[in-house]
Amino acid sequence: MTTPSDVPEPTEADLPLAGRTALVTGGSRGIGRAIALALAADGATVAINYRRDAESAAATVADIEALGAVGRAYAASSDVPDEVAAMAEAIQADLGPVDLLVCNAGIASRGGTVAQTELGELDRLMRTHVYGAFQLCGALLPGMRTRPRGDVVVISSVAARQLAAHMAPYGMAKVALEAMALTLAKEERNNGIHVNVVAPGLVDTEMGRRLVKGVMGIDDMSTLDASSPFGRVCRPEDIAEVVRFLAGPSAGYVTGQIVTVDGGG
């Protein structure tokens, strides 16, 4: 019979992110939630950010804590600078410097053409995806530079390369987000900070399901499994595993990269 004293203590190899503090924006649901749980499973303290769904945020924090990690939730809309500034200050006061930032919070655009789209929608997409991430980098990088290693991972999309019709605000926002990340990689390399981009294709989340319903009229995403690469639609965990690798010791010499996770297109 196994007794508690027979159970080995987790080693550094089991918890490669022990001692690190992560912030995952939009970490309450979907891809961000899966990333938050993967980082917590590797031993990181994880702050998640959300906009308004406090119930999902609390459930994700409970799941982080069930993994034995410290979890906290912070409400702030990434397109409201005062809220982002207050959140960055609160997280650092509560948990110390953030050395692993995942810029994941995002919204879809409405599907109009360039000619049909109001400037206000473009503004909202740019502020949500790009300005929030840009502002957070400014607020967190001074603390991150004091840590042995720093990571910034931004969640972009294959949309940044497809630049498909009817998706200009979303595609433009993701292109700008990638531009920020690849510039930052060059600026912060000498400070020990890695900056990488993960670009998913279609993923089974609320955003993915809404897209499939809107474009194809399909209610049940699993009907796309048979025609998808590897016989299934991409899951949030497929994206989370790539983020976990990029932020971990196995990717100690990787920066300034765009990793596409779309099953090969």
Q: Establish if 106 lies at the interface with ligand NAP (CB under 6 A).
A: yes
Least separation, in Å, of the C-beta of 193 and ligand NAP? Answer: 21
The sign of the dihedral angle between the CA atoms of 55, 56, 61, 62 is positive
Q: What residues from 136 to 175 belong to the interface with ligand NAP (CB under 6 A)?
A: 155, 157
Q: Establish if 77 lies at the interface with ligand NAP (CB under 6 A).
A: yes
Q: Which two tokens stand for residue 18?
A: 């022990």
Judged by CB under 6 A, the stretch of 49-57, 87-95, 181-189, 217-225 that binds ligand NAP is 49-57
Q: Establish if 72 lies at the interface with ligand NAP (CB under 6 A).
A: no
Q: Is 170 a catalytic residue?
A: yes
Least separation, in Å, of the C-beta of 206 and ligand NAP? Answer: 4
Please state, in angstroms and rounded to a whole number, the distance separating the CA atoms of residues 157 and 260: 8
Least separation, in Å, of the C-beta of 16 and ligand NAP? Answer: 24
Pick the binder of ligand NAP from 36, 69, 79, 248 (CB under 6 A): 79
Least separation, in Å, of the C-beta of 207 and ligand NAP? Answer: 3
Q: Establish if 107 lies at the interface with ligand NAP (CB under 6 A).
A: yes
Q: Is 53 exposed, middle or buried, given 0-12, 13-18 or 19+ CB atoms closer than 10 A?
A: middle
Please state, in angstroms and rounded to a whole number, the distance separating the CA atoms of residues 90 and 208: 31
Judged by CB under 6 A, the stretch of 47-55, 63-71, 86-94, 216-224 that binds ligand NAP is 47-55
The size of the interface with ligand NAP (CB under 6 A), counted in residues, is 30
Q: What residues from 177 to 206 belong to the interface with ligand NAP (CB under 6 A)?
A: 200, 202-203, 205-206
Residues designated as active site: 170
Query: Which residues here bind ligand NAP, judged by CB under 6 A?
Result: 25-26, 28-32, 49-53, 56, 77-79, 104-107, 128, 155, 157, 200, 202-203, 205-208
